[in-house]
Amino acid sequence: MKGYVYYSKAESVRNRAFIDDLIIESERIGIELQLLVEDEKPNSDADFILFRDRDTGRAIKFEMEGSRLFNRAEVNRIANDKLRTFELATLLGIPAVPTNRIRSIDEISSYPCVLKTVDGHGGNEVFLCTSALDAELFFTKFHDRKLIVQPFIESGARDIRVFMIGNEIVGAVKRTGNGSFKSNYTLGGSVEKYILSNWQENDVKTISQAIKSDYVGIDFILLPDGRWLLNEIEDPVGARSVYVTHEFSVAEKLMRYIKGKLSRE
């Protein structure tokens, strides 16, 4: 069995340790896995591409050329659009952070609020706005992007990220922000292992089944009263927080899943 793991050039450098783990674990189970970067083209005899990028157009192109992608382009399209993610949650009856498209600061009804680019990731294009001046600065900076607005929800800068491989929950972490309302681990927040309740497991499995995902992270804001609200779906999702809180290789579980999936198709 042969396959590729696709990354952009910059992300292939940043994620070198995970790429190496994927290649090692693939070799152990009889998969020849190679790195595919930027505009490199896969050989026609490859069985799959593990797509680790946010370029939905490229994912669609690979699929149109006949490649089997993990995740599918449609998963990438939904996960990298926060408005589509909210619309999906609404259809599924999953509680989610209210999200609306916004084109002008005149559409903001109250402060504080959270403004985001619809396709940003890593917490880098997320701003807490306490006044019209804050919002104006955000609109100026991202004037050429599609923007959304959400109410500011007090959560103690805590959220839960659940890691799904297929419809299996392989791990969950609680992330807490460090001096910021953002809880992202890569932005300096702390992280700890988290055990889901039965109703939380039902929520995440409902989402993964609906989008037919292969490997995603699903993020929920954790409320003070114990409830949670869906915030984002991450594709591709980074595994750093799993590796520091759990005692297994995400790469091993993912490559075994891919081999099993292809064997059944």
In a domain, 252, yes or no: no
- pLDDT for the residue numbered 157: 79
Q: Are residues 127 and 164 in the same domain?
A: no
Sign of the C-alpha dihedral, residues 5, 263, 60, 241? negative
Question: Same structural domain for residues 104 and 183?
Answer: no
The domain tally of the chain equals 3
Say yes or no: 142 and 189 in one domain. no
On whether both 163 and 198 belong to a single domain, the answer is yes
In a domain, 30, yes or no: yes
Whether residue 236 sits in one domain with residue 171: yes
Question: Is 61 in the same domain as 175?
Answer: no
What tens digit of pLDDT does each residue of 194-204 get? Answer: 999 999 999 99
- Mapped onto helix, strand or coil, the DSSP state of residue 44 is coil
- CA–CA distance from 24 to each of 60, 115, 134, 223 (Å)? 28, 41, 47, 40
pLDDT at 123: 73
Distance CA 219, CA 232 (A): 5
Question: Is 176 found in the same domain as 242?
Answer: yes
Q: What residue ranges of the chain have pLDDT lower than 50?
A: 182-183, 185, 187
- The per-residue pLDDT for 155 is 86
pLDDT in tens, 216-232: 999 999 998 989 999 99
CATH number at residue 202: 3.30.470.20
Q: Is 15 exposed, middle or buried (0-12, 13-18, 19+ CB in 10 A)?
A: buried
Range of the domain at 160: 78-95+155-247
pTM greater than the 0.75 cutoff = yes
pLDDT at 179: 56
What pLDDT was estimated at residue 177? 77
Q: What is the pLDDT of residue 252?
A: 98
pLDDT at 185: 47
Report the CATH number at residue 22: 3.40.50
**Are 83 and 163 found together in one domain?**
yes
Q: Determine, yes or no, domain membership for 194.
A: yes
In this structure, the strands spanning 2-7 and 48-51 are parallel
Residues 82 and 198 in one domain: yes
Q: Is residue 31 part of a domain?
A: yes
Q: Would you state the structure tokens that stand for residue 262, as one six-digit string?
A: 């292809």
Q: Are residues 192 and 167 in the same domain?
A: yes
pLDDT at residue 27, rounded to an integer: 98
Same-domain status, 184 and 91? yes
- With respect to residue 224, please indicate whether it lies within any of the assigned structural domains: yes
Q: Which CATH number belongs to the domain containing residue 146 in this structure?
A: 3.30.1490.20
